[in-house]
Each structure stands twice: as structure tokens, then as C-alpha cells.
Amino acid sequence: MEMNRPRYSLAIMIISLTVFSFLIENMANDYILAIVCFTGINIVLAVSLNLTNGFTGLFSLGHPAFMAVGGYITALLTFPAEKKPLFLPDFPQWLDSFHLPFFPALLVGGCGAAFVAFLVGISVLRLKGHYLAVATMGFIIIIQVLLNNADTITRGPLGLNGLEDFTNTYWVSGWVIVTVYICWKIKFSSLGRSMLAVREDEMAANALGVNLFSTRSFALIVGAFFAGIAGGLWGHLITALTPGSFSLLMSFNIIVMVVVGGTGSITGSVLAAIIFTLTIECFRPLEENFGIYGVGEIVMALFLVLVLIFKPSGIFGTEEPDFVMGKHKP
């Protein structure tokens, strides 16, 4: 019974998300639906960044850049052919033949982001700590510059708009489940343990036969895959993509969720993503009515500082709490 606790937790999550999606999709207004979808996308982002930064201890800021890669790929693959002459008059013809439905396009977007992560990993994974942070920050800027300049495909700074609004709570819930499930499986596998070992003491892990480079690359690539998926969901939720959206600020927001929830705790990332998205949304009416912007961000930053002072390893640390995991610990 105790052994099966995580399985029950998963089943409860799947059932409640399905019921919740159904109810909300049929009853709520567009505003609420959008907030629910943003929350889900943030869960995907936070949990997957936790795999890279939390489990493996890499300090990557590159998540928005992987989102951008996945988002643009998905958008271009699903972009309606009849809108192309208007929005993208210079679109290269040979690319026209690549047209896919939403789900396969998302997968291609995720794989594209993962492939980019593989290339980035080769060059930057030799760096550590803040060097890696700075290098991945540079990577965000490179992606923004590329997107701004490849204007025959991306419309440059104008961005792609008029995307189909494919994203709904079913898609988002589905990807939340997949992300949580896969990251959970990884965490409690031999590979996941080796990732945590690399984070804790890389020299000892290396001496026990863990290959540091491939473990780190794997963490970056899997994290990037889900970031790419989240990018695709995001683009088809707000039906527009601009290079400027995938900024360092976004990176900061996701990192805050990971750090507050607990570096290494999947439950922590999920809860932190929910709390933060809702907090920011709660402050939005206030901001718009009184013209004071950024209050949500300030509250978030303050919360981060408090957590760092009183519980530096985040609310749940590396653990999964008993209510998900049961008392039985590996």
C-alpha cells in the first residue's frame, strides 16, 4: 500500500485534472480559462527547469530561449496556408509543404528545442555555476537576435500573430501530466539518482562511474524539450509570438518558481508555479486600474528573498512531501 502511494497520487492527479479541465472548459469564461492555461504552462516550465537546474545543479537561464525555439517551430508548422500570403509574403516556398496538425507540430517543436539544447550543451556545459548562467543568458540574446533578423520567416520584431487558438485546458492538462510523470520517473530512476549525485558532489559521482558530461547534457536536453512544448502551447494560447517575450525576465520568473518550490522537488515546482501565476494574476487588475505596474513581480521577488533567507533549499528541498509520496522513502 505504502509502496504504491506515488501511483495513487498520479492517478488522483490525472482524474482530478481531467474532471477539472472538463468543468472549467464548459463553465468558465475566457479570462479564467486563460489563467488556468497559463498556470499549467508554468507548471510544465517549472518542473522541466527543475530537472535541469534542480536535479542536476546546472544554473541554466536558457529556458525562454528553448521556449522560443519550440514556439516558433510549432507556430510555423501549424500556420494556416491561407493566411500565409498576407502575414508572411516572403515565406520560402520549400517550407510551405511542411504543415502539421497541432500535436505533431508541438512534438517537432519540442524536439527542435531539444536539438538546440544538445548543440548548446556541447559548447557551454564545460562551464560551471555563474559562468554557465552568463553563457545561457548570452544564448537568450542570440536567439532573440536571430528571430529579429530572420524576418522572412519570423516577421522579425513584429512577431507572428494570427496563430490558431489551439491551446485549451485539455492540451495543457495533458502536458502537465506527461511532464510530471516523466520527470518523476527520471527522478526515481538510476539516471535521476546520478543527476542528483552530480549536483551533490561531482568529483565523487565521477569517481563512481557517472559520466558528468552526458548526465548534464541529458538534463539540459530533456528540460529543453518540455520548454519547447511549453513554448508551442504558449504561442497558441495568446495566438502571437514576439522575440521580446522570451526574455531574461521570463527566465527569472521560472527560476523563482523552482527555487521557492525546492530545487529537486517536483511537487514544490508544481505548487510554486500555481501560487505564482495566481499571485501575479491577482495583482493585474490592481495594476491596470491604478496604473502601478510590476507589483506582482515585486511581491514574487520579496517572497523569493524571504525563502532564500529562511529556507535556502526551498519549501520542500529535494524531497517529495509525504502527502504525495507516502511515508515510504527510497
Partner 1 sequence: MLTVENIDVHRGKTHVLHQIDLHVGHGEIIALIGANGAGKTTTLKTISGLLRPTKGKILYTPEAGKAPIDISTMAPEQIVGAGISQCPEGRGVFAQLSVKENLLVGAYLRSDKEIEKDIQSVYEMFPILGERSTQAAGKLSGGQQMMLALGRSLMSQPKLLILDEPSLGLAPLIIETIFAMLQKINSQGVTILIVEQNAVMALDLSHRAYVLETGRVALSGLSSDLASNPQIQKSYLGVE
Euclidean distance between CA atoms 308 and 299, whole angstroms:
14
Among 23, 122, 178, 204, binds partner 1 (CB under 8 A): 204
Strand partners for 160 = 241
- Where do runs of H (alpha helix) occur along 28-161? 30-49, 63-78, 84-87, 93-96, 102-124, 129-149, 151-154
**Interaction mask 261-290, partner 1, x per CB under 8 A:** ---x--------------------------
Using an 8 Å Cβ cutoff, are 129 and 193 in contact? no
What count of other Cβ atoms lies within 10 Å of the Cβ of residue 128? 13
Indicate whether 185 belongs to the interface with partner 1 (CB under 8 A): no
Indicate whether 2 belongs to the interface with partner 1 (CB under 8 A): no
Residue with smaller CB distance to partner 1, 151 or 201: 201
Indicate whether 324 belongs to the interface with partner 1 (CB under 8 A): no
- In the chain, % helix, strand, coil (3-state, to 5) comes to 75, 0, 20
Q: How far is the CB of 263 from partner 1 (least distance, A)?
A: 9
Residue with smaller CB distance to partner 1, 45 or 205: 205
Q: How far is the CB of 179 from partner 1 (least distance, A)?
A: 22
Q: Which stretch binds partner 1 (CB under 8 A): 69-77, 195-203, 235-243, 252-260?
A: 195-203
Q: Which stretch binds partner 1 (CB under 8 A): 34-42, 110-118, 156-164, 191-199?
A: 191-199
Q: Which helix (H) or strand (E) holds 160?
A: strand 160-161
Residue with smaller CB distance to partner 1, 152 or 211: 211
Q: How far is the CB of 330 from partner 1 (least distance, A)?
A: 6
Indicate whether 122 belongs to the interface with partner 1 (CB under 8 A): no
Euclidean distance between CA atoms 186 and 96, whole angstroms:
38
DSSP 4: G
- HSE at residue 28, side-chain half, CA atoms within 13 A, is 16
Q: How far is the CB of 317 from partner 1 (least distance, A)?
A: 7
Instruction: Supply 262's cell numbers.
Output: 525546492
Among 154, 194, 269, 277, binds partner 1 (CB under 8 A): 194
Q: Which stretch binds partner 1 (CB under 8 A): 11-19, 40-48, 174-182, 204-212?
A: 204-212
- All residues at 6 or more sequence positions from 64 whose CB lies less than 8 Å from its CB, including other chains: 140, 227, 245, 246, 247, 248, 250, 251, 254
Q: How far is the CB of 210 from partner 1 (least distance, A)?
A: 6
> Which residues are near partner 1 by CB under 8 A?
190, 193-194, 196-197, 200-201, 203-211, 264, 317-318, 329-330
